[in-house]
């Protein structure tokens, strides 16, 4: 068990906050995560596409879940060595096996954000990469394991052409990077573009033959032009760079590491992994300079760079993107709700729920750098007048603007799992789903494996016109084969029976008072959602599970049993920092679990 030191907190800002989440950070707007679809030689992928299909409603991603007999939409979720100051050159005393090396595609968010940082906002706005297909709830996992059809290459060509056209229309960003670019430039400028922009895009210095090959595309394009214009050749050169596997795929193969017995990422590979993890885009030229000059060779050097990167506003945007995936926030506007049963639900209300959760995260992680576990038992939230009306709490009187408010005691709410975002998404279109709510807690907050339902199990609820949903599900648990999975999920979900399928307070079910008490072996017991929030906050698995999900969301891989000791070691460090997420991001980047890889998959 982790030691969980007490941590003093100061009150965060309490003024009314902007409605839209894009106002939460000062960096460029958050772009939706997505999956690349290029079939490239030399990329080791699973040709069968084996894995859980995940198609989240509204974005082309969803997640298969054990069947919930209480909802008509059940079965689909729309949507170091222990010393952090040491180096990793020696053996790994923790005994964990690092994740396998290999290659994975950029997600569409990473693709677009990388074009933004290289070529500017207009170029990024023109980018249109193929849609993502999430696996295990994360786009990066799908990008690591799915073999995609060859016709997606055409989508990358179209996107590259649109980006190149945008650059030619507004070339200032490229000219700042490669000053020779102009209408009157000569052929030598094609080499400069290949050398400088190519290095930026490929995340490494290019070999001489690569530079000549890319420059030759520009020269050939200029010859094809009726007027022999340099800019026509530049368009084809930009398209070649942006369609190259070296841009579209992140390489993490590493080099043999005699001290650990595994492979350590090269300086530029580590720079790429750090940059996509912490800022969501390709590494800057300054970070590549540092990598190539040996300034990422030790854990302490990595830690120093990571501290600077976490202080960058882009880190806030990147983390918002992660939580939008992990907490199923990005599709709330499209949550399937029956309009006759829930006429008050709308896409606008769904967006407000998303903003509420992001504001709580922003408060805990960035404003106060507080104990992350407060996400589960915070006695305050952020609402505008519409959300306050939904919850049945006093209005802050701020209109569309959000304000921090304390949950009234009679609501018995606490943290994210009492907010509309969780309660809405983890429900069916017609009514609550204790199974979905409990399953999410088990799998995504505690990272527990829940077995799929036995195919022989009768999924129909028993008859009981006068029974509450909790009573019906408890009867269902008596059927053979049900308790093995529903017994681990439904009692957790019962804690939220005071709240409807869109998060409104409800005290009665089928004419009877709702009951919210429950108990699950290995987790604890509770009387209501607030007490369950305290139980979750006190469980050390919540910290380790955040680390596992960060690995899935950024590295595209789930920890194996052999790598879990590394996760647990990071979890102890997380506890030592008072569960500071900012510190965790830094320590993850410096940890051998992040800097080492096993043989490529």
Per-residue pLDDT tens over the stretch 344-387: 999 999 999 999 999 999 999 999 999 999 999 999 999 999 99
pLDDT at 256 (0 to 100) = 94
List the single range of 6-20, 130-144, 218-232 with lowest mean pLDDT.
6-20
Rg (CA), the chain: 25
Q: Which pTM was predicted? A: 0.84
pLDDT value at 60 more than 60 = no
pLDDT at 163 (0 to 100) = 98
pLDDT at 92 (0 to 100) = 56
pLDDT value at 516 more than 60 = yes
Per residue in 389-412, pLDDT tens? 999 999 999 999 999 999 999 999
pLDDT at 70 (0 to 100) = 38
Per residue in 131-162, pLDDT tens? 999 999 999 999 999 887 788 889 999 999 99
Q: Nearest CA to 327 among 397, 387, 376, 263?
A: 376
Return the residue matching tokens 């199923």.
328
pLDDT at 95 (0 to 100) = 80
pLDDT at 232 (0 to 100) = 96
Average model confidence (pLDDT) for the chain?
85
Whole-Å CA distances, 368 to 12, 406, 534, 579, 585 = 6, 17, 20, 12, 16
Average pLDDT score over residue span 415-436: 96
Q: Which of 93-102, 124-133, 219-228 has the highest mean pLDDT?
A: 124-133
Q: Compute the distance between CA of residue 311 and CA of residue 468 in angstroms, rounded to an integer.
A: 50
Q: Which residues pair with 250 in a beta bridge?
A: 104
Helix (H) or strand (E) holding 276: helix 267-278
Whole-Å CA distances, 319 to 26, 61, 172, 361, 578 = 13, 19, 29, 10, 19
Higher pLDDT, 250 or 35: 250
């Amino acid at each position: 068990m982790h030691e969980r030191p007490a941590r003093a907190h100061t009150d965060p800002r309490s003024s009314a906050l902007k409605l839209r989440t894009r106002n939460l950070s000062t960096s460029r707007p958050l772009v939706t995560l997505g999956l690349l679809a290029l079939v490239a030689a030399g990329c080791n992928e699973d040709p069968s596409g084996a894995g859980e299909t995940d198609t989240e409603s509204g974005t082309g991603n969803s997640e298969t879940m054990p069947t919930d007999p209480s909802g008509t939409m059940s079965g689909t979720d729309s949507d170091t060595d222990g010393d952090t100051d040491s180096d990793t050159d020696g053996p790994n005393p923790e005994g964990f096996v690092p994740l396998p090396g290999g290659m994975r595609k950029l997600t569409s968010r990473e693709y677009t954000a990388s074009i933004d940082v290289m070529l500017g906002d207009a170029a990024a706005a023109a980018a249109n990469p193929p849609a993502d297909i999430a696996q295990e709830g994360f786009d990066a996992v799908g990008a690591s394991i799915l073999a995609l059809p060859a016709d997606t290459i055409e989508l990358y060509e179209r996107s590259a052409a649109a980006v190149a056209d945008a650059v030619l229309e507004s070339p200032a960003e490229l000219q700042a990077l490669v000053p020779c670019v102009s209408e009157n430039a000569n052929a030598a400028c094609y080499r400069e573009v290949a050398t400088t922009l190519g290095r930026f895009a490929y995340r490494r210095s290019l070999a001489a033959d690569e530079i000549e090959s890319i420059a030759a595309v520009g020269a050939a394009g200029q010859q094809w032009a009726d007027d022999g214009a340099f800019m026509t050749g530049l368009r084809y050169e930009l398209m070649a760079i942006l369609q190259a596997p070296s841009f579209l795929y992140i390489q993490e193969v590493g080099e043999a590491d005699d001290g650990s017995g595994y492979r350590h990422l090269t300086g530029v590979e580590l720079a790429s992994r750090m940059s996509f993890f912490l800022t969501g885009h390709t590494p800057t030229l300054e970070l590549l300079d540092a990598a190539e000059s040996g300034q990422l060779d030790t854990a302490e050097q990595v830690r120093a760079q990571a501290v600077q990167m976490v202080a960058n506003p882009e880190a806030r945007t990147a983390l918002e993107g992660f939580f939008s995936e992990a907490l199923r926030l990005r599709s709330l506007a499209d949550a399937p709700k029956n309009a006759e049963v829930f006429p008050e639900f709308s896409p606008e209300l769904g967006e407000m729920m998303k903003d509420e959760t992001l504001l709580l995260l922003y408060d805990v992680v960035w404003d106060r750098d507080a104990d992350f576990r407060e996400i589960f038992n915070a006695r305050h939230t952020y609402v505008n007048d519409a959300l306050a009306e939904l919850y049945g709490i006093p209005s802050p009187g701020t209109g569309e603007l959000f304000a921090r408010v304390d949950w009234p005691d009679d609501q018995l709410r606490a943290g994210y799992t009492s907010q509309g975002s969780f309660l809405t998404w983890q429900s069916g279109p017609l009514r609550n789903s204790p199974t979905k709510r409990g399953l999410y807690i088990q799998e995504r907050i505690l990272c527990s494996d829940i077995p799929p339902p036995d195919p022989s199990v009768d999924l129909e609820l028993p008859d009981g016109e006068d029974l509450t949903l909790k009573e019906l599900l408890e009867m269902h648990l008596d059927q053979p084969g049900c308790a093995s999975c529903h017994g681990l999920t439904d009692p957790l979900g019962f804690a939220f029976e005071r709240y409807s399928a869109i998060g409104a307070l409800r005290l009665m079910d089928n004419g009877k008072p709702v009951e919210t008490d429950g108990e699950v072996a290995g987790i604890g017991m509770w009387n209501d959602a607030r007490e369950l929030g305290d139980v979750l906050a006190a469980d050390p698995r919540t910290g380790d599970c955040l680390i596992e999900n960060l690995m899935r969301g950024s590295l595209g891989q789930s920890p194996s049993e052999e790598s879990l000791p590394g996760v647990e070691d990071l979890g102890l460090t997380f506890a030592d920092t008072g569960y500071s997420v900012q510190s965790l991001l830094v320590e993850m980047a410096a940890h051998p679990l992040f800097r080492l890889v096993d043989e490529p998959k």
